[in-house]
Chain A
Amino acid sequence: MTTGRLPPPLPDGARSFSRRELLALLARCGAGLLAAPPLLELVCSHGLAQSAGGRPNRKRLVILWLDGGPSQIDTFDPKPGTATNGPFRALSTDVAGWYFCEHLPQLAARAGRLAVVRTMTSKEGSHARARQLLHWGYSPNPSVAFPSLGAVVAHEIGDLNHELPAFVQVLGEPWGPGYLGVEAAPYMVADPSNRLENLSRVGATDPARIAQRDELLELLDGDFAQRGGGPVVHEVAVQRLRARRLMDSNLLPAFDLRLEPDAVRDRYGRSKFGQGVLMARRLIESGVAAVEVALDGWDTHKDNFRRTKALCDELDPAFSALLDDLAERQLLDDTLVLCIGEFGRSPTILAGEGRNHWPSNYFAVLAGGGVRCGRPIGITDERSEQIVERPVQVPDLFATVAKLLGYDGSRKFQASTNRPVTLVDPDGAVVTELLPA
C-alpha cells in the first residue's frame, strides 16, 4: 500500500512474485505451518538481509519506562541534608560512597550491577514531546515518523522471522516502528496476567474448516492480486502468515505467567508492572529482541512522596528480580536493561507536596548488556537543580545503546521523499564511561 509515509517497498525480488507463488504462499498459510520457514525467508528476505549481515546478534534490550517523569531526588540522586530532599532518607548501596533513596533497598543492594547517569538533560518539558524524545532519540519533527528504540533494536538486531514478534510492549501506549515499517511494530500486551488477545480461533477450530476458510481467502486474494491488488495482498499475506506462526507457536507459553512458580511471581511483585517485567524476562529467554514495560504514575505534581514511595515499591523488586534472573540464566551480559522516564522533577517542593517537571537534569539507569557498572555518571549540584559535571544529552544515550548492542546508528533511511535520517541523531556521542573497560 503506497501512502505518503508508509514503509519503503520490499526489494523487487521479494515484492514481485507470480500468482503461482502467491497461491503457494496462501496455500501454505492454511496447510499448516511446518512448511513455512523457508517460504518466509523468501518473502521476508528484506528483513533477513538487514539483520546484522547474517551474523547472529544475541543482544537484547529491556526498557523499563517510568511514565510521567520520575523524581531524580527521591530515587537515584538523593540530596540528604538539603531543603530540596524531602522526607526520604538516603540509603547506602553496596558501592561505597554511593546512595539511593531508602525506598529502593533491593536495588541499593545491587548497585554494583547498575550504572546511573544522573545528568541526563534536555529542553523538552512537556510530557508528549519529552516522551517522544526519550523514545525516538530525536526531538519531535512532524515531518519524520521516527521509530522507537525498541523497534530500532528489533529491526537492527532482532530476528524478524522469529515465531514471536521481535518487539513486545507490555502496558503503556504503543511506540511504533515509524519509517522502519510494520515488521518492527510492537506487539502490545495490555495486561500481563490476562490471556493474549485474539490468539485463539473462535468458531472454527477444526483443521478442515480452517483449511476451507483459507481456500476461500486464497480465491479472493488471488483474484484481487490479478486486478492490481498485488502489493496489498502481499503485505496482508505476510502478516497473516506471521500471525499464524504466533498463534501456533510452541513459544506462546512465554506469555503465560501461570507457568511461573508463585514464589517467582511474588519476587517480581504482584503489581501489573512487576508481572510485566517477569513477562519481559520470559520473552527475552524465548528470543524476543526488545521488550518495553511501562510503569505509569510518576507525574507527581501533588503528593509526590507518598506516590513516589508506592511506585518505588513496584519498581524495586521487579527490577531487582529481573537482574537476578537474567544473571542466573547467563543472559545479563547480552541483555541491556534501560530504566528511564521523560524527565525529572523540580528540586522545589510545591504546596501540596508536589514537584514540577524538570528536564534540565534527570536520570537513566543502565544494567547488563556489557555496560560498565557500579558507579554513577555525572554530578548535579547540591539542590539537584543543575548539572555540575558531565551533561548527557538524549542522543548521547541512544548512541551508547547502539554501541552496546552492536548496531550501526549511522545507518540512513529514507523517512520521507527527500530527507535521509540516521537511526541515531548524528549529534549523539557515545558515553564512553558506560562502555566496558
Chain B
Amino acid sequence: MPRAVMDTAECRDAVMKSKWLILLAAGPILAVAVSRATALDEGAKGASAASWAPVVERIDRALDAEWAARGLADTASADDATWLRRLSIDLLSTIPEAGEVAAFLVDPSADKRDRKVDQYLDDRRFSETLARLWTQLLLGASGVNEAKLTGYLQRWLESAFSKGMAFDRIVRELNCATGEGAEPGPMSFQLAYYDTIETLAGVTARAFLGLQIQCAQCHDHPFDHWKRSEFNRFTGFLADMQGDLRVGVGQRVPHWRLLDRTPEWGVYGKLNRVLRKLRGAADDGAMDDGAMAGASMAGGAMGGEAQGSNAGDGLSALQELFARFRRSGDESSGASMTAPSDAVLDEFAPRLPADAREAVALFRERRELFGDAGFLDARPYEPLSDQSKRQALAAWITSPENPWFAQAIVNRAWGHLFGKGLIEPIDDLSGSKDRLLPELLADIGRDFLRNGTDLRGLIGALVRTKAYGLRNSTAADPERRAEQERCFAAHPLRAFTPEQLQYSITQATTGVVLESRNGAWNREQSKFLDELRSRVTAIDGNGERRLGASIPQALFMMNGRYSYRSATLKKEGRLERFLDVKLTPEERLRDLWYATLGRPPAPAEAAAIVRAVDARDDEGFHAFEDLFWALLNSAEFQCNH
C-alpha cells in the first residue's frame, strides 16, 4: 500500500463538521528552530559521490541478479517519507524534524534524495553518530577501566571524522598512538586496555579485521582455524605497550601516558619499587620506572609489602638480581633493557621477597606467552629498529595487502545501514558460514581502498543503493520475510538505540533539534540518557546498544516524564505552542504526524482518528494530548523501519 501525501480535500472532508474545527484555526506550520549543519573545518570530504557511482551500480546489479535468482525481486521502494526518516535515523541518530519532512515531501526535484544524502553526510551529527558507533565498538563491550576514556575517544573520533581524516589513518593513530597529556585523544582506545592486552588483541582483531580470535586465547578455536599460538603471537605486538592512567599522583588534572617500552622495563620498575621500600626510602612517588609499573598486570594484584622475616636476605638478593639486568643505549633515544634468563630468575626466586617473586613470575609468564610477535596471515614479521611493534601492527592492519581490513570495514558499514552484513556475524569473516555475495564484498573492499579508505564516501554509496531504498517486508510468512531481509530484498525493522530514542523523543515533543549532543548537555539530558541506557535489552552485531521492547520501556513511554508529558509542558512543550499557532485543521493533523512519525497521515487513518476524537465527550486540549500520547507510544514511532 504505497503511501502518498494526504490528499488535502480528503483530509478536509474528514475534519469538516468535526468538533476539531472548534479547536483548530488557521496558521503557519510548527514554529521550530531547525538548526542546520555547522560548516566543516576542511574541504577534505569534497564530493566523492562521483568516484563512488560505479560502486552503487555494481551493488545494484549484483543484488538484482541475486533477487531474480531467488524470486525476491518484488519489494516496492520506500516512499520519500519513509526513506527520509530511515536516512535521518541511520546517519544523524534522530528522526527528521517536522519542517524538514514537509519541505522534503513537496520538493519536486529529481535529485532531492541525492542532495539530502550529501547534506546529512556533512552534518556534524553524522560525525558524532559514526564516532559513537566506533567508540562503542572499541570500548563498549569490554571492561573499560576509566569511564572518562569513552568521552575522550568519542571526542577525538568525532573530530577526526568531521575533518574527513582517511579511515586508514584513523586506524593507524588508534593502534600506535603514544604520548602523554590530559587529553589522550587516540590513545584512549589502547589506554582502556592498558592492563589487559589479551582483551585488546581480541577487540583489535574483531573491530578492524572482522576476525574472532579471542576464543583462541584459552583454547584452539573449535569452529575456526585460529590457534592459541596465533593469538599469542598477535597479542605479542601489544606486549611493549605501557600505559599509565595517572601520571603524577595528586595532580588535579589526571595525566595519561602511553608509550612503547618492553616488559623488561616494567618488571625492573616493580623490583625497583620493592627495593626502595626495603631500603626504607621515602616513597615520594617520584620514581619514574616505578610509576610505569602496573602495565601488563592481568588479574594479579600489585603487592606493596616489604616486611618479612628475611628482609635482609631479600634485599641482597634483589640487589644481586638488579645487577643482572642490562640497559643499553640512551634512554631518550629508546634504551633497551635485557632481563636475565629463566634459569637465572629461577635461581633467585626462592630468596626474593614475596611481591618481587610475584612480579618476576608474572613477567616470566608473559615473556613466555607474548615474547614473539606474528601476523595473522602468512606475512613474516621483520622487526625494524625505527618501528615499534605497535607501529608494525598498525601498518600491517591498514596495508592494502591485508586480506581482511577493507572487507571488515565495508561489512560493518553495511551492517550499520542494513541491520546485517553481507557476511554474518558481522565480525567473523574467517569463520562465518552465512555469506551472501562474498565476491561483492571483496569488490567493494577494493573500491574502499581505491578511494583512499573514505568511510564517508562508502556510506554515501551504500545509502544510494536500490536496496537501501526498499520498503519493509509485508510477507505474512516469517521465513519468507527472513529471507527477504537476509538478502536485502526488503528493509528490516530495527530497534532504536538509547541515543536515537532520546533525540527523537526530545525533538518530537519539544520541536528542538539537539545540535551538539556530545558533552554539552545539561544534567536533565544526561539523566534522560542514563535512564534509557538502563533499559537497553540487547547489543547488536555492531556493538550498538538497542532498546528492544520491555516492561520498563513501555512504562517509560506511557507514563514517563520525558515522553508525552514533555509535549504538554507549558514552556518547552510542543503541544501548547502547537495549539497557539493558527492552522487549518488538515495542517494541524498533518503536522502532528510529521513531528512524530515523519509522514503525513493516510486518508483512512485521518478519517478514523477524527471519528475517534469526535466520539468523545470531552474536547480541546485533552483530545490532542491523547493523540500525541498514542503517536509516541505507537510501535511505528519506536523503531527504524
Interfacial residues, chain A to chain B (CB-CB below 8 A)? 1-7, 9, 12, 15-16, 83, 122-129, 131-132, 139-143, 145, 165, 173-174, 176-178, 181-182, 185, 187-188, 197-204, 208-209, 212-213, 215-217, 219-221, 223-229, 231-233, 235-240, 242-243, 246-247, 346, 348-351, 356-360, 416-419
Contact = CB atoms under 8 A, between A and B. Distances in A.
Given A7-B538, A348-B304, A356-B301, 6 more contacts: A122-B299, A140-B143, A197-B555, A203-B565, A223-B602, A357-B301
Nearest to A233: B635
A112 to B, nearest CB: 33
A265 B87 CA distance: 54
Interface stretch (B95-103, B229-237, B427-435): B427-435
A240 B223 CA distance: 40
Nearest to A242: B551
Contact of A216 (B473, B627, B639): B627
Contacts of B617: 208
B639 A229 contact: yes
Given A125-B300, A129-B143, A232-B493, A224 B636 contact: yes
- Tell me whether chain B's interface is mostly helix, strand or loop, or mixed: loop
B299, B419, B618: most-surrounded residue (chain A CB, <10 A): B299
Contact of B472 (A3, A12, A227): A227
Given A1-B639, A129-B196, A141-B215, A235 B568 contact: no
A219 B609 contact: yes
B609 A12 contact: no
Contacts of A228: 471-474, 490, 493, 641
B182 interface: no
Given A233-B635, A358-B301, A198 B555 contact: yes
Nearest to A355: B301
B304 A202 contact: no
A417 B630 contact: no
Contact of A198 (B537, B559, B605): B559
Interface in B608-641: 608-609, 612, 616-618, 622, 625-627, 629-631, 633-636, 638-639, 641
B428 to A, nearest CB: 7
B558 A4 contact: no
B635 A3 contact: no
Given A143-B206, A216-B626, A223-B602, A126 B145 contact: yes
Contacts of A233: 635
Nearest to A216: B630
Contacts of A141: 214-215
Q: Which 5 pairs of residues, A with B, have the shortest CB-CB distance?
A: A128-B143, A4-B541, A228-B472, A216-B630, A243-B554
Interface in B530-563: 534-543, 546, 548-556, 558-560
Contacts of A202: 559, 565
A239 B554 contact: yes
A404 to B, nearest CB: 27
Contacts of B635: 220-221, 224-225, 229, 232-233, 235-237
Given A7-B548, A142-B142, A185 B537 contact: yes
B425 A181 contact: no
B551 A239 contact: yes
A349 to B, nearest CB: 8
Contact of B202 (A142, A177, A239, A357): A142
Nearest to A123: B299
Contacts of B608: 219
B299 A359 contact: yes
B633 A199 contact: no
Contacts of A235: 548-549, 635
Contacts of B195: 126
A232 B546 contact: no
Given A216-B612, A219-B612, A5 B538 contact: yes
Instruction: From B145, B546, B634, name the one whose CB has the most chain A CB atoms within 10 angstroms.
Output: B634
